[in-house]
Structures are given as structure tokens and as C-alpha cells.
Chains A and B, each alone.
Chain A
Amino acid sequence: MTSARTRIAALFGSGVLALTALTACSMEGTDSPTSAASGSCDPKKLVIGYVNPSVTNQGWIIIGQGATDAAKDRGVKLRSFGPPKDGDAAGQVTVVQDVIAGGANAIALAPVDSSALVPAVKEANTAGVPVVNLDSQINGGNLASFVATDNYAAAQQQAEAVAEHIGGNGKVILINGSQAYSTGRDRRNGFVDTMKKKYPGVTVLEVQTEWDAQAAQKGLEDLLAANPDVVAVANAWDGSTVAAVPVLKSHGKRIFLIGFDGAPDAIALMEQGKVDAIVAQQLYKMGYTAIDTAVKAACGETVEKRIDTGSVLLTPDNVAKFIDDNPPILREFIKKAS
């Protein structure tokens, strides 16, 4: 029901907005050619559009901070936009069209949906505005660069950490995010493939969610009740990690808990000894690199097609160093979260 409605809304919304965007384009086209990238590049005149998929997720707040800082360092003007509502692909398409119409010189785009944003990228291509894709990969269009954690590799790292802790044997619950996102798929496949190939003694039980902490918790409770002999719980994002903590506490038996992301509330829980490990993305670096790359692309410089911003396996031993290596905002967030 919901998806049908979304699709209708998407059709309607994109139709109307395409019209507006068209008129806006043709009007601009008469007096100035598309942003000339050749020759000397004055960053002060550049406008970079930063379009992200969530205004509420804490990870995105840190990525956004990286983006803001990069813009400040480069002296460009940054225009940040979230979708009207988290997970709203149609709304995000509209936002991209508005950013193009608004005269951005480059766009850093983190899609809500890998496929739904392809037409928006193509529109940017037509308008001659370079697009730097960050986080979840967009399935088509011409992308100047893709800046992201290699989620598949990071999930392999997560699986290795679990396998090492449990000695390569036992039942493990994996809580997945949405399989409609490349991020969600890569994190699942990296984990499951590693276990299948390298650790035949590990059984993976999966909980499927749409990045919804409440559903993650329910699924975990249901599977734990059916399989009390589970030895580890792995999460595809930290919203689920945080929701798993009270479940494991009331379970009684010690279960290894590993997260994914490095969100402030999950790090706070690690500092309290309630989370054993987190595969942390370099979120700040991702935001910073994306904007930096977008500025280069706007100036017509050649940029790398794929930039992996990497991941770090956080444990209680190295978490303090990780926080120190990040900008102070992370410490503030951790304090605010606990």
C-alpha cells in the first residue's frame, strides 16, 4: 500500500518538478552558458549542493559536519539538503532538481535509493553539473566519483571479528538493513559470504528490516527465544546495535555484540562496556572527501573514480584513540547521547 502510494507520489512529484526545472533551465540558458569549469577556478564563486538521505540519522550528522568543514576549508558555498522525510526517494529527486535549477556547480549526492536517483543524476549530466556520489552507490548516470566505505569489505571485517571471537563455531544472528540499498546488500553479503566460505562451523540466522530499530529488536527477541544458544549478534547499522543492548542484557547469557557505523550512542554504549566491537566507518572523512572531490570536479580537475574512505574495527581498547582522531563534534555527540 505504502509503496504504491509513494510511487504515485513520485510520478506526480517528478512530473511537476521536471516542468519547473525545465523552465528554470531554459531561462538561465539564455544569458549564461553552463558553469564554465575551464581555466582558473575561484572557489569563492563556487556553489556545491550537498544532498543527503537523512536529517535524523546521527551518522549523517557527522558526515554533514565533514562536508561543512571541507566547504569552509575550500572557501566554497555549501547548500545542504535532506529529503522532506527520511527515506523519501521521490522527495530527494525533487531536491536534486531544485539544486540543479539553483545553479550549483557540483553536487555531492548520497541517495535514498540506488535506482530511484538515476534520472536525477542524468538530469545533472545534461545540465553539465558534475555529481559526486557518496555512501550508497547510484546504479546509473555519469558519476564523477564514488566516495564511500567499501561496505562489502567492512562487512567481511565484521564477520572476521565475530568468527575470531567465537572460535569459528556457533550460531550467529545477523540483523540486516534494507536490501533495497546497495549499502544494505553489501553489508549482508560481505558478512554471509565470509562465513560461508571461511567458517563452515558458523550458522548465520538473519533478521530482515528496513533500517527500523523497533523491527530489529523484535526480530532479535524472536530469534533469541527460538535459539537460546546464539553466541554472537552482528548488526548492519548502529540503530540496531543500540536496540540490541537491552535485549542481550535481559537474555542473561553473555553474547558477543558487534555494531556497524560508529554512531555516537553506540560508541557511548561501548564505553560503558555494553557493546563489544563496532566496525566504524570514517564518516567525517567521507563527508569531507566528498565535498573536496566535488570542488575539484567543479573546477574541471580529474578526480579518482572510486575513493574508499575505509573502516576501523573499534574495540574498548582503541575507542578512545578513534574519538580523539575525529573532530570534537563526535565527543560532543557521545556526551549528548548518554
Chain B
Amino acid sequence: MTTQLSAEATPAIHTPLLRRLPAFPPWGAALIGALLVAVVIAVSNDAFLTPRNLSNIFAQTAVLVILATGQTFVMITAGIDLSVAAVGALSATLLGVLTVANDLPWSLSLLICLLAGAAIGVLHGVLVGRVLLPAFIVTLGGLLVWRGVALQLTGGINTTGLPDPIRWLGRGLIAGVPVPAVIAVLVAAISAIVIVKTKFGVGLRAIGGSEGAAARAGVPVLRYRITAYIICSMLACLGGIMLAGRLDSAGGNLAQGFELQVIAAAAIGGVSLFGGTGSPVGAFFGAILIGLIQNGMNLGGVSPFIQQIVSGAILVLAVGVDQFRKYLARRIS
């Protein structure tokens, strides 16, 4: 669709055009969608607007926000990371093994897990950026390998009774606000600043727009790309550990298929699969929209089959709206 549109319209890259529509950023569709859905649920169900339910939604969506934020760093470079849920499951399983089975202190274990995540990110980044394998293939392989490693680590047994600080990450409260929500907002906010304001962020977008041009402009393409995969994997680890803390259960089958929701959240939030555009703010609203839809349907007792249908339709609709906006922008110019 994109290629067709850009072929008929001016050859200009759409980023400068977007600046002319500051009132409607790429994540506008997700934000408006989220508000609409919230209104619909609030009208149809009394239980929606209770403080407890709202706090639940933010806590439940936090892990999705964190993984989608990490995904944004990679997608902006025109890459993709399909392995995030598997990497999250692996780090959670590793944490369970280190703390529960081997009685290591939680802080040291957490550090080891995050470093393992960083190492995985380096591996993915090098394979994509240096060996020049397609990101889709590298991380699809990663999806299988890392989940397999996680299952092998415990022989498929889930660990429960995780240390209190880990459970706190998933389920604790700070002044009545869920800890996971606080972490998610911090992660998304810091990432948004990094991507919009720093040389690194500008470089990532340049790589996604045109790698050759970025390299000619002096962007250290390989180093930046590897860093994007490191951030993505480390955030996946953080999210996986928070999820395990939330469930108080860590094992290789954690978050099966969650990578699709993550990519959907980013795409709904206006992060382009072709690179160059997108912001963690969009991933944030995309995740919230998905969380709201699930919450509303849970409150209404809707079957998971229908939930899948609705989620899929919303994904296509949100990205469609965004494409239409770009098309209009081009027509106006």
C-alpha cells in the first residue's frame, strides 16, 4: 500500500510532511481509538470506571508497554524482533532458577538476567547488522532457540515462590499506583526522549529511512543497530521478569505468542514496519488500546475467539487510518 501511494504521489519522504500536521501525530489513531473504546466500555459497564479496574488495566498492560517500547527501537531501524516474548520467558526462567533453586540474592540474579538479555541483543544485532541476515529470520530463530533454552533449563517445570522484590515488580504498589505501571511509564517516557531528542535516536530513524544515507551522514550504523537490539532484548528481560513476578510463576511457557501482541501494539501506535518513523509514545497508546479492549471484553464475558477477531480488526483499522492520514498529507502538499 505504501509503495503504491508513494509512487503516485511526490517522491518526498513523508517525515517533513508530518511536521505540517503537528495536531495529528502518528500515534493519534491509537490515542483516539483508546479514548473511543474507553467511552464505549464505560457506558456499557459500570465496573469499568472503578479505581481498582483502571489500576488493573495499567498493571496488566505494563509488560506489553515495555516490550512494545523495546520493539520500537528495533522497528525504527526497519528491523523487527520476533524473539521478545521468548527472551522474556528465558530471563524469567533463569531468574527463577537462580533465586529459588540456587538461593542466589535477587539483586545479583536480576543483574545476571539483564546481562544475559544484553548478550542476546548483541548476538541478534551482530547477525543482522554485520552478518547481514534478515532481522525476521534471525529473531524467528531466536524465538525458537531462546524458548527452547528456557524449557531445557528446568525440564519444563515452572518455578513458584519468587523473591518478594521480584513479585513487587509485578504486583506491588507505590502510593496506591501499581509498580509495573510506574515502571512502564518511566520506560516509555525515557525511551521517547532518547528517540526524539538524542543523536542516537535521530541516528536510528536515519538508519530506518535510508541506511546508506545515514552511513554517509556519519551515523555509526552498526553500533547503533546493535544498541537497538540490546535495548530491545534487555527490556524484554525486564518485562518477562515483571510478568513472572506478577504471576509468581516462571517457566519456559511464559508469554507464549505474546510477540504478536507486542508488534501489534507498536504498529497500532504508528511505528512503521518499514522503519524511519515511530515513537514509544505510540507503542504506549497502542498497548493501552489493546489492554482496554481485552478488559472490556473480559468484563462483558466475551469469548477469547471474539477477542482475537476484534484485536486483529483494530490492528488493521489503526494502521489503515494512519496510512490514510499520510495519503491525505501528501495530497495536501
Please give me the residue from chain A that is nearest to B172 by CB atom: A250
User: Which residues of chain B are within 8 angstroms of A336 by Cβ–Cβ distance?
Assistant: 101, 154, 157, 159
| B47 and A225 within 8 A (CB) | yes
Tell me how far the C-beta of B318 lies from the nearest C-beta in chain A, rounded to whole angstroms.
Answer: 15
Question: B303 interface residue, CB < 8 Å from A?
Answer: yes
| A222 and B53 within 8 A (CB) | yes
**When chains A and B are docked, how far (Å) is the Cα of A221 from the Cα of B247?**
12
**When chains A and B are docked, how far (Å) is the Cα of A63 from the Cα of B176?**
44
Mask, A197-232, CB within 8 Å of B = 1, is: 000000001111110111101110111011100000
User: Which residues of chain B are within 8 angstroms of A209 by Cβ–Cβ distance?
Assistant: 304
* B21-57 interface with A by 8 A CB criterion: 45-47, 50, 52-53, 56
B47, B170, B248, B302 pick with most chain A CB within 10 angstroms: B248
| A246 and B53 within 8 A (CB) | no
| B253 and A268 within 8 A (CB) | no
User: Which residues of chain A are within 8 angstroms of B171 by Cβ–Cβ distance?
Assistant: 246, 250
Question: B252 interface residue, CB < 8 Å from A?
Answer: yes
| B157 and A264 within 8 A (CB) | yes
| A61 and B157 within 8 A (CB) | yes
User: Which residues of chain B are within 8 angstroms of A268 by Cβ–Cβ distance?
Assistant: 160-161
| B47 and A226 within 8 A (CB) | yes
User: Which residues of chain B are within 8 angstroms of A208 by Cβ–Cβ distance?
Assistant: 301-304
Residue tally, chain B, CB below 8 Å to A: 46
Question: B69 interface residue, CB < 8 Å from A?
Answer: no
* A298-338 interface with B by 8 A CB criterion: 333, 336-338
* A262-295 interface with B by 8 A CB criterion: 264-265, 268-269, 272
Selected interface stretch from A37-45, A50-58, A162-170: A50-58
Q: Give the contacting residue for B53; candidates A56, A179, A225; CB below 8 A.
A: A225
- Interface of A with B (CB < 8 Å)? 1-3, 55-58, 61, 86, 179, 205-210, 212-215, 217-219, 221-223, 225-227, 239, 242-243, 245-246, 250, 264-265, 268-269, 272, 333, 336-338
With contacts A2-B260, A245-B160, A246-B167 known, what are 20 further pairs, Cβ within 8 A? A56-B156, A56-B252, A61-B156, A61-B157, A205-B301, A210-B304, A214-B247, A214-B255, A214-B258, A221-B56, A222-B295, A222-B299, A225-B56, A226-B46, A226-B50, A242-B160, A243-B249, A265-B158, A269-B160, A338-B160
- Interface of B with A (CB < 8 Å)? 45-47, 50, 52-53, 56, 60, 100-101, 151, 154-161, 167, 170-171, 243, 246-249, 251-258, 260, 294-295, 298-299, 301-304, 308, 312
